Amino acid sequence: MYKIKWDKETSGILLSDSPEDTIIPPRPVYFEELDLLGFDKYWDYPKCEEPLLWGLRVGL
């Protein structure tokens, strides 16, 4: 897996496979979390058991 870092210079992403970089795997995001954050007031999305999105923590 690669760690993703935002490159301000190119406005793109850089992938790092350096052992020093901690890799945080993507996590599923379900409709309940989107509802809790108020997204249901602005968008329509299916209320299903499967994840709707995958959340990534981009480099700090």
- Mind listing the pLDDT tens digit of every residue in the chain (60 residues)? 667 788 899 999 888 776 666 667 789 999 999 999 999 999 999 999 999 999 987 655
> In 10 A of CB 52, how many CB atoms?
15
Maximum Cα interatomic distance, the chain, rounded to a whole number of Å: 42
Instruction: Give the Å distances, CA to CA, from 16 to 13, 30, 50.
Output: 10, 28, 30
Q: What are phi and psi of 40, to 5 degrees?
A: -65, -15
Whole-prediction pTM:
0.59
List, in order, residues 6 or more apart from 44 with CB less than 8 Å away.
Answer: none
The pLDDT assigned to 22 comes to 64
The pLDDT assigned to 52 comes to 97
Q: What is the three-class DSSP state of 39?
A: helix
